[in-house]
Each structure stands twice: as structure tokens, then as C-alpha cells.
Amino acid sequence: MIIGNLEQIGIQLEYIIEFKSPSGLFNFIIDDELIPGKGTITDLFMVISSLKNTFHYNLDEKDFEIGKKKIEDINFADGEPENLIYVDCSELSDFGCVFWLGYDGDEERLFYSNDFEKTFREQRYPKGTLANLIDSLPNSFDLKINRINDDITNTEIIS
């Protein structure tokens, strides 16, 4: 299942394995690339819950205004860059996937790494894009595996 606007940012979500909590694929789709692009037994409950919790706190956006500061001038080495929101992706970080979010007026600036923070890339979106995407994620326990045959499955939302 694909969630979001792939011309901006999306999420690939597939419930594949029935463990104590739903597990499967979870990737962000950014600039035609799957991030992290690995992991087939990701705990979907943990990832979705962590992401939703990031945006459900009453964040005062003005506290995360970074303006036009260049990515090269942001110190990611200290663990908590100034004026950036850590976007908690839970176990996706086990694959080297880390996200930080800041604002520049009416834009949000998403900084991300897929190599354990050795390098960072940036994407800009209209303010609210990432929060709306995360808010549109179904709860993991509302997902159902639809087995079409031994070789084909897809994910359905049951609520």
C-alpha cells in the first residue's frame, strides 16, 4: 500500500508477517527512493506509533524555525541539532535511517540520513506536509493481510 503524494513524499506500508504486533515493510518514498529500503520484518506498531507521537505533542513551530540556514551549517554531530524536531522512526534507525524537521516560514525542511548520519540530504515541502502524511497512516492493528494465493498478498485497512 502506498500512502501520500508521491510527487512530494509518500510511505510504502505492507503488513507481511503476523507476530505479536503487525510486522512488514515500512519505507518513506522521497525523491523516487525508498528510505531505508531494507527490512521486511519491521514492527509496524512501533514505527507508526513513534511517528504519530512525534507530531501529536503540541509543538510550537516557532521554536523550530531555522530559516534559510544552510545544511552544511547545521551540526548534526551533537545528537540534537538546534531548533530541529527529531522525527522518531523507532527501529528504522537500526537501518541507518534518521530524520530531523525544521521550518523556514511557510516551508518545512526535512533533513534525513540513510547511512547512520554520515551524510544528510534535504527536501523542502509546504508546511504541514509531513504531519499530514503521518496523520494519514492507519493504526497498525487496523491492517489486515489479504492472501490472494501462496505467492501474492496485499495489505487492507479493516476499519
What is the block-wise mean pLDDT of the chain (159 residues), using blocks of 10 residues?
93 90 95 93 94 76 80 82 90 94 94 94 95 93 88 86
- pTM of the predicted model as reported, rounded to 2 decimal places: 0.90
pLDDT of residue 92: 95
Question: What phi, psi does 145 have (nearest 5°)?
Answer: -80, 125
pLDDT of residue 77: 81
pLDDT of residue 37: 94
Ranges of each domain in the chain: 2-157
10 Å Cβ neighbour count for 102? 22
Where does residue 6 fall: left (phi above 0), alpha (psi -120 to 50 degrees), or beta otherwise? alpha
Rounded distance between C-alpha atoms, residue 48 and residue 101, angstroms = 17
pLDDT of residue 62: 56
**Residue 85 three-state SS:** strand
The cell for 18 is 503476523
